[in-house]
Chain A
């Protein structure tokens, strides 16, 4: 059983997944932020691999990627930073990123190196189901990495079932059709989440996009297994001199 699956076996309500861009705010803050997230009891960590042209991200996360790239972050550097990660971080870690940098690194080598440092799963928003089934899914499986698909309120029931069947770990329910960081009225999302709940999916469901505080986290968690916070946390790290303190302070406002 994967580390992500074990997590949901132990805990399937109010699971908190926090997104942070690797190499942000400083090149070497990746692991300290992860340690602080674990200490302040985040349940999962989603590490963003910065990319110059991130289609699905809003301005805040895009800006954090630009800074991380200016800091010199690369996939190679990230794997070096993560080499010792499992000595201090126990929670499941997911890498999120776009296809192009991974293709340049070499898709197979990327999965091999990710698995070797103890990464548990991947979210690649621009790798859709056809490309997954046709070419990349078998490589991801070979290295026993979980692969998490996104669904949106626009995704048809039939397609949600298919993406759930292809996903392992959890299913990522985007709260609305949008880029990251758009403010969401969570009450408007509950019907969609209830629909997902009634579908009796194979995977647990985490809700992302627009979750920013205790109220939105709890609203999102009501009809799902938990939620993902990204933009609000990136904002909290902005200009922080002590990333560990900033992280702990932010998580206290959520949990």
Chain B
């Protein structure tokens, strides 16, 4: 595995000029403990054996790489869907939550906290906590609690305590603030399972590593299906960027592979109601790392907007900021409306109801001209069960 600034950060957690650990001293010991131990723990045989067997028998990996014939015909190219929607609990989030609970156990932690937007990460965390019998507290924006009710019910059934974040935009950003504060107040027994490739070093690297199982499988599966490990394009949606990091991971050094990230444009990039960070953001510090952040001229964080709670975040992970700044990644955006339209399109062509987040990646397909022999892999990060209320509204039922 090669080590470069695209795939892995330097010792201080920097991907190019982005990353690092901008944390108050109150978190230093926790973050330092993780930084010193995560690599040796996650590469140990004991960890890998348990992680691999649970990925297979519990998560349901490998997830299929599905050649979507009718969708391919529509775009006159070859599209493969990486079916993370078929993971247990309905999204890629479980790969990371599982990795982190095994890590937390080995660090001797007795209490888990997490933030969640769409609720998928909260559900994944509540699930692995139930699996391991560990206490679980999930912070969720008050607004997200309302729009992702099925996932709130699932977390509660799994035994987690869901605490509403009532400050700011009452969405993912604020849930993250509350989780970090909880961690500050509980420094000894608590592990914070961050749900995306954001936060202070080593989180972005750790989460990307756990999600890299996605691109590892894509390479193998693509080889079996096409004879070549390398697609021409990899598409993924970006909230914080964990499914995109996982889908891109083993392709970052393959210059022939176009890495296409799709952000949420909300009502439109210039509408004032958007979450398209690379279009609207500037370098800044949010939630412990230096990255691109949507903010006012005075450096106050802007409240983002997306129809999909999982993309409703004013930043992106430092790995993605670096992919963007260096030009290695292509960043597109899709509006709420385009995402919903893409969701219906996929459902009717392939019989797959995607998560609203993944629908943004699907909407991105319309913005690229493909050749007939291109091989396009799209990370279908989650399934749409949790979004049925939104889809029903779109259908007028």
Q: Which residues of A contact B (CB under 8 A)?
A: 51-53, 55-56, 58, 62, 66, 69, 74-76, 98-105, 125-128, 130-131, 134, 149-152, 154-156, 159, 163, 174, 177-179, 182
Contacts and interface: CB of A to CB of B under 8 A. Distances in A.
B21 interface: yes
A163 B26 CA distance: 13
Nearest to A97: B299
Interface stretch (B90-98, B181-189, B330-338): B181-189
B: contact size bracket: 20 to 34
B64 interface: no
Given A55-B24, A99-B22, A125-B24, A179 B181 contact: yes
B81 interface: no
Candidate in B23, B28, B168, B187 with the most chain A CB atoms within 10 angstroms: B28
Nearest to A57: B181
Contacts, number: 109
Contacts of A152: 25-26, 28, 187
Contacts of A105: 298-299
A177 B187 contact: yes
Interface in B169-186: 173, 177, 180-181, 184-185
B34 interface: no
Given A104-B284, A104-B299, A52 B168 contact: yes
B297 interface: yes
A128 B21 contact: yes
A150 B295 contact: no
Contacts of A99: 22, 285
A128 B299 contact: no
A149 B25 contact: yes
B22 A127 contact: yes
Contacts of A178: 26, 184-185
B282 interface: yes
Given A53-B177, A100-B284, A177-B187, 5 more contacts: A101-B300, A103-B299, A125-B24, A126-B285, A156-B29
B24 A56 contact: yes
B130 interface: no
A69 B167 contact: no
A179 B184 contact: yes
Given A154-B26, A174-B26, A101 B298 contact: yes
Nearest to B283: A103
Contacts of B295: 100, 104
Which of B29, B293, B298 has the most chain A CB atoms closer than 10 A to its own CB? B298
B184 A98 contact: no
Contacts of B168: 52-53
Contacts of A102: 299
B301 interface: yes
A53 B286 contact: yes
B268 interface: no
A55 B184 contact: yes
B300 to A, nearest CB: 4
B310 interface: no
Contact of A154 (B29, B288, B293, B299): B29
A62 B178 CA distance: 12
A53 B282 contact: no
Contacts of A131: 20, 22
A14 B359 CA distance: 61
B298 A74 contact: yes
7 A-B pairs with the lowest CB-CB distances in the bound complex, closest first: A101-B299, A104-B299, A125-B24, A150-B25, A177-B187, A52-B300, A56-B24
A69 B295 CA distance: 14
A97 to B, nearest CB: 10
Given A126-B23, A179-B181, A62 B167 contact: yes
B347 interface: no
Which of A52, A126, A127 has the most C-beta atoms of chain B within 10 angstroms of its own C-beta? Answer: A52
A100 B299 contact: yes
B298 A177 contact: no
Contacts of A154: 26, 28-29, 187-188
Contacts of A101: 298-300
B12 interface: yes
Nearest to A74: B298
B28 A155 contact: yes
Interface string B4-24: 000000001000000011111
A179 B286 CA distance: 17
Contacts of B167: 62, 66
Contact of B184 (A75, A76, A163, A177): A177
B21 A155 contact: no
B12 A55 contact: no
B288 A126 contact: yes
Contacts of A69: 300
A151 B187 CA distance: 14
Contacts of B286: 53, 100
A76 B12 CA distance: 32
A53 B25 contact: no
A182 B184 CA distance: 12
Contact of B24 (A51, A58, A103, A150): A150
Contacts of A134: 12
